[in-house]
Amino acid sequence: MNREETQALIENVMDTLSDENGFLGLRTEEERREVCGSAKEILKTTDKVIKSYIRVSRENNGISRIPAYRVQHNNISGFYKGGIRFNEYVTESEVENLAILMTIKNALHKLPFGGAKGGVHVNPKEFTDRELNLIAKKYVQVFKPDIGPNHDIPAPDLGTNERIIDWMVGEYKTIHPGESYLGSFTGKSVENGGAKGRRESTGIGTYLSYQWMINDWFTDIAEQDEVERTGQWETLEALHDKHRENGYLEVAVQGFGNVGSVAAKEAFQDKKLKQRVVAVSDREVTLYNSDGLAVESLDAFGFTHQRLPNTEKELDELDVKAEILDAGDVLTVESDVLILAAVEDQIHRDNMKDVPAKVFVEGANAPISQEADQYLEETGKIVIPDILVNAGGVIVSYLEWKQSRITEEYSEDEIIDEMAAQMTKTFKRVYDTYFYSTEQSMRYGCFYLALERLTSLLYKHGKLF
C-alpha cells in the first residue's frame, strides 16, 4: 500500500465511523459528520516533514550529499515513535506512508505512542563502517531539535541495527550533556540499555500472527458457532486439517533479515503446528526444497555473512540441500503460508494471480497493494496486515523505553511473554471481528479499530472543532 492508498483507506473508514449511530455519544448525523470530517483531515496528513541533506566525507571519493528524512505523523496517543531506515529506495512519500502506518499500528495495539518514521537514501552496503558511523551521527545532529525521549523516539528499521542505534545514542548524549538519554532511542544493544529479545521480537510476533490463528484461535472458535466469512474459514479449516492429519504446512519466507530469519526459525522449531519452511529468499536469491530447508544452518550463515548462501559450493559447505532460484521466485513456489519480510510493493496487479499461497503474512510494511489485497480477499485467501503482524518490535520498544524510565531491567522471558500476550489480545479482537462479518478486509478492520481510538482521543482532547 502506498501513501495514497493508505490515505484513501483512512477516508473510507472515517466515513463509516461517521455513519455509526451513537459514535462518540454524538446524536445527530450532522455532528458526527463534522467531527469525523475534522479527524479525517488531521489523520490523512502529517504533522511535520523534515528533509535534510547529510554531508559525508567519503574515504576514497570526495563528498556525498545524502537525502535524509524524519516525518512525524501524529502524537495524539503519545510521543512520536518510528524506525529509521537506510535504503537506496527511500523517498519522502514512502517515509510519510510509513509514519502514518506507525500511528495506526500503535493505536491498534493500544500503545502510548504516536507515529513517525525516518529514512536515509543510502545503500549501507556501499559505505564503509566509518562512513556509516558518520551518517548515523550526522542524522542525529541534523534532526536534534525534533528527536528526544519525551518527543520523538526512533528505532532501527530496514538497513539499520543496534550498532547504528548505539552510535546515534552516543551522539545524542554528546549533544545533550547532563540530560537523560537512554529513552531517546529504542533498539539499542542490551549492554547499552536495550531490551533483551528486541531483535527477535518482530519476527516472533510475525510468526505468532498465523500460528495462533491456525492453531489456538481456530480450535477455540470451531467449537462454538458458524462464522460468516465462509471462503476464508474454509481456507483456515483446510490448513488446520492438513496439520492435524499429519501433513506439514509449507511456509515460504521472503527476506531473511531481522524479521524473516527469526520468523523462519520459529516456524522451523515449532512443535505445536507442523510446518516445513520450503523456501527462503533475500535480495539475491531464493533457496527452495519441498522437503524443508535446514533453517538453523542458513540462519547461522546469515548471521555471519548478512546474506543467504548463493552458490552450490556454499550450500555444500553448509550441508544444506536446496535448489537455487531467482530472488523473485519465493512468491510463486508452492506454499500454504507466505511470510513477506523484505520491502514494500511485492504483490500487486501484475503478479497477484500467480502467487499460490493461502495465507499472506505482512511482516514487512506495505508489501501488498490495495488492489492485490482486494483480489486475494475475494478469492478466499487470508491476508494478515502489517500493522497487526509486525508490531512485536514496537511493543518491545515500549518496554525498553519503560525500562529506561524505571531504571530496572526485564528478563528476556518477561519481555517476550509480555509482547506475545499483548499481540494475542489484539489478534483476538481483529480475528473475532473479521471472521464474523463479510463486509471488509482484515486491513480495513484493523484501520477501523485504530481510527475509532484515535478519533475518540482527538475528540476528548478537544481537537475536532
What CA–CA distance (Å, rounded) separates 199 from 252?
21
- What is the smallest separation between the CB atom of 139 and ligand NAD, expressed in angstroms? 17
Residues between 340 and 359 that touch ligand NAD (CB under 6 A)? 341-343
- What is the smallest separation between the CB atom of 338 and ligand NAD, expressed in angstroms? 13
Pairing outcome for strands 152-156 and 249-254:
unpaired
DSSP 186: S
Segment contacting ligand NAD by CB under 6 A, of 3-11, 41-49, 61-69, 335-343: 335-343
> Considering the rule CB under 6 A, would residue 94 count as an interface residue with ligand NAD?
no
Residue closer to ligand NAD (CB basis): 23 or 197: 197
Site residue total, ligand NAD (CB under 6 A) = 23
What CA–CA distance (Å, rounded) separates 334 from 358?
10
> Considering the rule CB under 6 A, would residue 393 count as an interface residue with ligand NAD?
yes
The answer to whether 117 is a known catalytic residue is yes
Residue closer to ligand NAD (CB basis): 193 or 260: 260
Residue closer to ligand NAD (CB basis): 140 or 343: 343
> Considering the rule CB under 6 A, would residue 259 count as an interface residue with ligand NAD?
yes
Q: Cα-flanking dihedrals φ and ψ of residue 137, to 5°?
A: -70, -40
The radius of gyration computed from the CA coordinates of the chain, to the nearest angstrom, equals: 22
Query: Can you count the helices (H) and strands (E) in the chain?
Result: 16, 12
Residue closer to ligand NAD (CB basis): 131 or 458: 131
Residue closer to ligand NAD (CB basis): 18 or 162: 162
- Give 205-273 as a DSSP string: HHHHHHHHIIIIIHHHHHTS---S-HHHHHHHHHHHHHHHTT--EEEEEE--SHHHHHHHHHHHH-SSS
Give the cell for residue 38. 475534522
- What is the smallest separation between the CB atom of 134 and ligand NAD, expressed in angstroms? 20
Residue closer to ligand NAD (CB basis): 18 or 390: 390
- What is the smallest separation between the CB atom of 148 and ligand NAD, expressed in angstroms? 21
Whether the CB-CB separation of 167 and 352 falls below 8 Å is answered with no
By beta carbon distance, the residue nearest ligand NAD is 257
Amino acid making up residue 72: Q
Whether the CB-CB separation of 290 and 281 falls below 8 Å is answered with no
Catalytic residue among 40, 81, 105, 117: 117
> Considering the rule CB under 6 A, would residue 257 count as an interface residue with ligand NAD?
yes
Segment contacting ligand NAD by CB under 6 A, of 1-9, 60-68, 156-164, 445-453: 156-164
Give the cell for residue 144. 536534534
Q: Report the DSSP beta bridge partners of residue 340.
A: 254, 362
| Site residues for ligand NAD per CB under 6 A | 157-159, 202, 254-260, 281-283, 327, 341-343, 363-365, 390, 393
Catalytic residues: 117
